[in-house]
Amino acid sequence: MTSVCSAHCIPTRPAHASGCLQLNTGSVLIGKPSLGSWLSYGLGTLNESLPSFVVMTDPRGGPISGPSNWTAGYMPAAFQGTLFRGKGVPLLDLATPANTSDRTQRHTLDLVAQLNREHLQSRPGDSELAAPHPVL
């Protein structure tokens, strides 16, 4: 069984981008880690093939200043939130393209995974490349 923690505890409507940032990161400046990033950094995750935390936006629209509200800031990219959209498809580019066979899709995913590994090896220390991604 999977445990899920939902923090829907700060109902507010900041009127300015700096207010949203301060609410979510503790600072009015862009580039600071969000609360979710600090929580996933401190608590860790039991599943390396899933994001450590997700962001679920209101179907009427996301927060002012967008992804800066769930960024990892200066922390490694593994601690950044993953956006689940409130309307339409929650995660973009997740479905297999139409008219693509399972064999072709598997070959494509294997090739992309190999190219990603080679790209990462040529750029050691880049946390955005090293961030965990769903298993392909």
Q: Which of 88, 90, 1 is nearest to 47 (CA)?
A: 1
* Other CB atoms within 10 A of residue 52 CB: 23
Pick from 4-8, 34-38, 62-66: least confident: 4-8
2 pLDDT exceeds 80? no
Per-residue pLDDT band at 56 (split at 50, 70, 90):
confident
Which residue type does 95 have?
Answer: A
Q: What is the pLDDT of residues 96-105, one digit of tens each?
A: 889 999 999 9
Per-residue pLDDT band at 8 (split at 50, 70, 90):
low
How far, in Å, CA of 130 to CA of 36, rounded?
Answer: 19
136 pLDDT exceeds 50? no
Q: What is the pLDDT of residues 79-98, one digit of tens each?
A: 888 888 888 888 887 888 89
Q: Which of 78, 76, 67, 82 is nearest to 20 (CA)?
A: 67
Average of per-residue pLDDT across 46-64: 79
Pick from 13-17, 25-29, 32-36, 55-59: least confident: 13-17
Q: Where are the alpha helices (DSSP H) in 63-101?
A: none
84 Cβ contact list (under 8 Å, min separation 6): 54, 55, 56, 57, 90, 91
How far, in Å, CA of 7 to CA of 37, rounded?
Answer: 13
